[in-house]
Amino acid sequence: MRSVQRACSEVGMEALVSGDPEVVRRADKLIFPGVGAAGPAMKSLFEEGIDEAIKEVFLAGNPILGICLGLQVSLDFSEENQTETLSLVPGTVKKFRFNRKELKIPHMGWNSVKLIKKHAVLNQIEPDDEFYFVHSYYALPENDELVYALTEYEHEFASVIAKDNFIATQFHPEKSGRVGLRLLNNFSEWSG
């Protein structure tokens, strides 16, 4: 959380860390970074009433950025703890399964991101740019049109998805050096 807040401040965006649904509703822009596992994360969003607040912000049209688990809980369902998630974007989340032992899980470290569609938040992200990932599950959106970037780890998976005023990255822009800061800066200038 605080690393996202620090990175926001580096690009001149004031970010407030809050678990209060009223603060979430009033936000001009929303970032939900998400940590830990899908089950406990959804449980705490539900208990605090933040799940409804996020859905309202989405319907109201304010820009939303999901990061890592924030991307995963935006779909309908996650294999992780067999969890019903927010349904901002149609699709499911699956665990990486590999036969080769050299492929370690979590997928952790720097990897390339192949942009397949233009998006204001992805402006000036170049083909050689890499981002920092840490995850064991990946998103499978129902519709290919929602996929804006792909990353390869044994097979390709969606590393950026977007729909209307919502965009989410499987990687951590706040830990991805100046390229990541550029993405956050783009988000700060994006009107949804």
Partner 1 sequence: MLSKRVIACLDVRDGKLAKSVKFVNTKDIGDPVEKAREYYLGGLDELVFYDITASSDHRKIMLDVVESVASQVFIPLSVGGGISSVSDATDLRMAGAEKINVNSAAVIDPQLISECANSIGSQNVVLSMDIRKVQCSALCPSGYEIVIEGGRRPMGLDALDWALKGEMLGAGELVVNSIDADGTKEGYELSLTRMISEAVSIPVIASGGAGNSEHLFDVLKEGKADAALVASMVHYGDYTIEEIKRYLSGRGLKIRMSW
Catalytically annotated residue among 8, 68, 107, 135: 68
Window 8 to 47, contacts with partner 1 (CB under 8 A): 9-10, 35-36
Check whether the bond before 106 is cis (ω within 30° of 0).
yes
CA dist., res. 141 & res. 139, Å (int)? 6
Q: For this structure, is 56 an active site residue?
A: no
Q: Which of 111, 122, 91 is nearest to 171 (CA)?
A: 111
User: Can 8 be counted among the known catalytic residues?
Assistant: no
Pairing of the two strands 147-153 and 155-163: antiparallel
7 binds partner 1 (CB under 8 A): yes
152/164 with CB nearer partner 1 = 152
Q: Which positions from 99 through 138 interact with partner 1, judged by CB under 8 A?
A: 101, 104-112, 126, 128-130, 132, 134
Q: Residues of 12-25 as b/e, b for ≥16 C-beta within 10 angstroms?
A: ebebeeeeebeebb
Is residue 68 annotated as part of the catalytic site, yes or no?
yes
Provide the binding-site residues for partner 1, judged by CB under 8 A: 2-3, 6-7, 9-10, 35-36, 101, 104-112, 126, 128-130, 132, 134, 152-153, 174-181
Q: Which residues are catalytic, by number?
A: 68, 172, 174
